[in-house]
């Protein structure tokens, strides 16, 4: 599942495969992102539960960072957590970074796109087997690219 993710990419998909760090000024980010994307990706915001159509997305394909187009997840990694946010059991190797978040009373593990540093969501240990993880993502921080049909 983690190794064969490229099989879901359509030819000439608008993605980047480079994990080389992408640096932009705040003004550049504000120009390239919607206000909701900027809030989540650059200011660690959270979109309202059940607001993203990606939570209900069922087609095969790849989920890429809305800030820089680096693939982060595939449809094979997705599951319906019932939380109102797109959730995944794992991620594409070496495409996300984690750190502890102490904004609430209990610490959480936050994760970001490894290329642009954009905040994606939090990972929890209450997901289904085989990983028992729930990578809970803000839909506004992602862009979905459907797999080729047929």
Whether the pLDDT of residue 9 is over 90: the answer is no
> In which domain, by residue range, is 82 found?
25-146
Report residue 59: phi and psi, to 5°.
-70, 155
Indicate whether 64 belongs to any domain: yes
Indicate whether 127 belongs to any domain: yes
Across the chain, what does the average pLDDT equal?
93
In contact, 122 and 111? CB cutoff 8 Å: yes
Indicate whether 3 belongs to any domain: no
Comparing CA positions, the residue from 59, 73, 15 lying closest to residue 148 is 59
Indicate whether 55 belongs to any domain: yes
Q: Which residue has the tokens 């506004």?
A: 140
Q: pLDDT for 15-44, tens place per residue?
A: 999 999 999 999 999 999 999 999 999 999
Query: How many domains, in total, are found in the chain?
Result: 1
Distance separating alpha carbons of residues 116 and 109, to the nearest angstrom: 18
136 in catalytic set: yes
Centre a 10 Å sphere on the Cβ of residue 7 and count the other Cβ atoms it contains: 12
pTM, two decimal places? 0.92
Q: Which residue has the tokens 């980047």?
A: 16
Whether the pLDDT of residue 52 is over 70: the answer is yes
Domain CATH code at residue 82: 2.170.150.20
């Amino acid at each position: 599942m983690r190794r064969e993710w490229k099989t879901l990419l359509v030819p000439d998909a608008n993605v980047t495969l480079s994990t080389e760090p992408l640096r932009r000024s705040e003004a550049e980010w504000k120009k390239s992102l919607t206000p909701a994307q900027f809030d989540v990706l650059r200011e660690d915001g959270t979109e309202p539960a059940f607001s993203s159509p990606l939570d209900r997305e069922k087609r095969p394909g790849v989920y890429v960072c809305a800030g820089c187009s680096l693939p982060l997840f595939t449809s094979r990694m997705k599951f319906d957590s019932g939380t109102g946010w797109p959730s995944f059991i794992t991620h594409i190797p070496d495409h996300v970074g984690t750190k502890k978040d102490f904004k609430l009373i209990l610490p959480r593990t936050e994760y970001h796109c490894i290329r642009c540093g954009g905040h994606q969501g939090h990972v929890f240990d209450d997901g289904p087997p085989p990983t028992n993880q729930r990578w809970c993502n803000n839909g506004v921080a992602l862009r979905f690219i459907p797999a080729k049909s047929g």
